[in-house]
Amino acid sequence: MKSGSNLEKVLAAGHFSVTAECGPPRGADPDIVRKKAALVKGNVDACNVTDNQTSVVRMSSLAGCMLIKEQGIEPLIQMVVRDRNRIALQSDLLGASALGVRNLLCLSGDHQKFGDDPQAKNVFDIDSMQLIHLAKTMRDEGIFPSGDKLEGAPKFFIGCAVNPFADPFEIRVPRFKMKADAGADFVQTQCIYNMEKFKKYLELAKRENLHERVKILAGVTPLKSAGMAKFMRRMVAGIDIPDEVVDRIAAEPKEKQAAKGIEMCIEQIQELKEMEGIAGVHVMAIEWEEKLEEIIGGAGLLPRPLVQ
């Protein structure tokens, strides 16, 4: 065990894992996080806490991790390189580990121009691949990147993110390989709607034996409506939603589109479960956490396994 986290144990035991996420609030009210945590509890092996997603200021990921940990949920801290230099990143890694956070997702972070403070300076002192390597060095060698010895190494199950649908497609798997080479233990993908394109991506990744080196958690996001599908396709970079997906949900009356979106998400998870090389799913029910149990249970993934 590299970290001893529940997520690492579930995957090591060969179970099909499930993660979800909680977006912290745009304020300091801890009860907002606690209410989300109550909806997540029992449905996942670990829960991501996002880090100022879409460059919008929110409660810190570490604070959110502590709040969901208090509720009995294993946290997964997201850390972006957009907002911190390497000194701050190392400090936050040590703090998170000291507080018992055992899962880490290393990310670049959305550019600040997409957020509510577009004039803010970004940092990008290091990139996400270097953050993965930094965390691995601290964990496995017990030293800072400077070479100085740590007074207690952090323990993390280290993750990264990949987007199989961003352009150009040809570099997607090579970038995944670079993250694996840097030291990633698991990966969570961008939400999948174009299943045929994802299958091509997965086959290319398997040729590089990446599915044996890194646990692949396929991302899914339930669609609430045809309007949501069209908005995401038009406005969210790297999202690929085929016409047939939009048409299928649009064919339903508006009051039934949410139910159809959940049905389609369950179908996706069931298909992903049968794919060689997929070790789990990451369910991003954005501000729709109350549907997690219905989705995960409907896919036959409840109750979650207990692994010692």
* Least confidently predicted of 159-163, 178-182, 226-230, 237-241: 237-241
Structure tokens, 147: 């070479």
57-83: average pLDDT: 98
Measured between its terminal Cα atoms, the distance across the chain in Å is 12
* Residue extents of the structural domains in the chain: 6-223+278-293
Residue with tokens 């972006």: 80
Q: Which residues contact 44 (CB under 8 A, 6 or more apart)?
A: 18, 19, 20, 73, 283, 292, 296, 304
* Amino acid 232: pLDDT: 94
Per residue in 151-162, pLDDT (tens digit) is: 999 999 999 999
Q: pTM of this prediction?
A: 0.97
* 277: alpha, beta or left? (left if phi > 0; alpha if psi -120 to 50): left
Has domain 6-223+278-293 been given CATH number 1.10.645.10? no
Measured CA to CA, the distance from residue 227 to residue 250 in angstroms comes to 8
Tell me the backbone φ, ψ of residue 210, rounded to 5 degrees.
-70, -30
Measured CA to CA, the distance from residue 225 to residue 228 in angstroms comes to 5
Structure tokens, 12: 């090591």
